[in-house]
Structure 1
Amino acid sequence: MSRVTAAAWALGPVAVAVLAVGFAWLTGFSQRTVLPGGIEAWFYGFFLDRYPLFSGAIAYGLARLLLTMARPAPGGPVRRLAGGAVAVALLLAACLYPTFGGVVLRAGFATGGMAFLSGQAMPVAYGLGTASAAILFGLILGLGGLLTAGRLREDGGWGRWLLAGAGRVLMRTLALWFALLLLGLAHAAGLGAWPRRPLTDGEAGLAGALVLLAFLPHAGLVWLDSGHRHRSPSAATG
């Protein structure tokens, strides 16, 4: 993989997430947009209102999985397509079922809520809640990568793989924690009333900047890992 290709693969999902914000701004999408009754009841609600930029996280995750499907990997195209379809279905279910936010935001809200009710300060409860959501979101992305194109073992043996793999998992989970921490502060940062009304120009710029800043660390880690695999062909993929 060339450096340009590695950069495009790593940073492409960030661009997709920012473009998703731009699409909402250009189309004027909001809760005033008329949708079929069943879709409207499923999509609009508490979690979209409180954590609207989680939609950027969904776009980022989907783009990451779809780009992984497009890369050559052991097992050939059949494995990539089959594994990728399962991975995408898992991500969508975890983020959108039974309604927007899915089990990811519900896990975060439940963890943070219980921490706050047990006497923790709000910043601590918020941090615990977003950590819970980030762990679940990262687990789904990691599992999706393995289903699509992953290999579980390096030539150096299981001990080397476990050590290197644990470090990558920890760093990427922390990066996703940072992303969800930042996205959850959208309203406090001045996002305004979206999605109850369309995004203004300034709000769209702020939302795009938050999404960009949120996912750059995770994308950067993916880029660095891709560079390591490019230098060491025997390293694990995923």
Structure 2
Amino acid sequence: MKIRAVFAAAFSCCANGCSIVEEGVWELKTKYYWYLILQGLIRMIQNNSVFNIKYEIFDEDIDYLKTTDNSLEYEEIYGLFTINIKENEYILYPDQDDSEEIKRSYSESLITHFIVLNEALKLMNNNQYVAIKYLEDSTIWLEFRIENDIVLISKVYCDMYRMKDICANEKYLRGKRYYSFKNVSVPIKIVRDEIRVKSLRFIDEIRAIDSKLLSLLKIKHLINLINTF
């Protein structure tokens, strides 16, 4: 049964409190039960569209990492990475159907991205302002301004050279200019949950490739950061 038909049947049952069986697969017994399911689906879809971390490890790298002799030589794992904030994209991300060669041109340092995000999340506990530098371009920053339970997220341009990847004081980004989006409002809980969930998923994928990779210093650092929350 198609998703649209499932939603239609569920909404109908929610409205009428009925019990139906279609093709021996779906049995809608109570209005409240399906109401909760639909509300969960709606929240999941809304949360993913508000603040969504996307990443993908290159297939060729997965095959390479699975060979025991090579896995511990890696200090970084490369792939695709971006963050979608509502309708805004932090880093350019290729289409799913693009070739491996094209995808390689968008290569990002995945471990470092997750480390920086988790370090930023830790700073948000005691700071009202945090900005992270784009790893491939030191003039581009993603800015998080915390106001109560809301985070205002902006992409900014600042040509002031800084060695560190994270800034917790706005005065150090003097002369900044807003880039493609400004003050996009996101509940801080969604930001925290998404960073934690995707970080854990990334670690699980690394473990599935080769558990020995968990002994890499950068992976250990990332796991320690995740465990602080």
TM-score band, normalised by shorter chain? under 0.3
TM-score, normalised with respect to structure 1:
0.27
Bigger helix fraction: 1
Higher relative contact order (CA 8 A, sep 6+): 1
Give the greater-gyration-radius structure (CA): 2
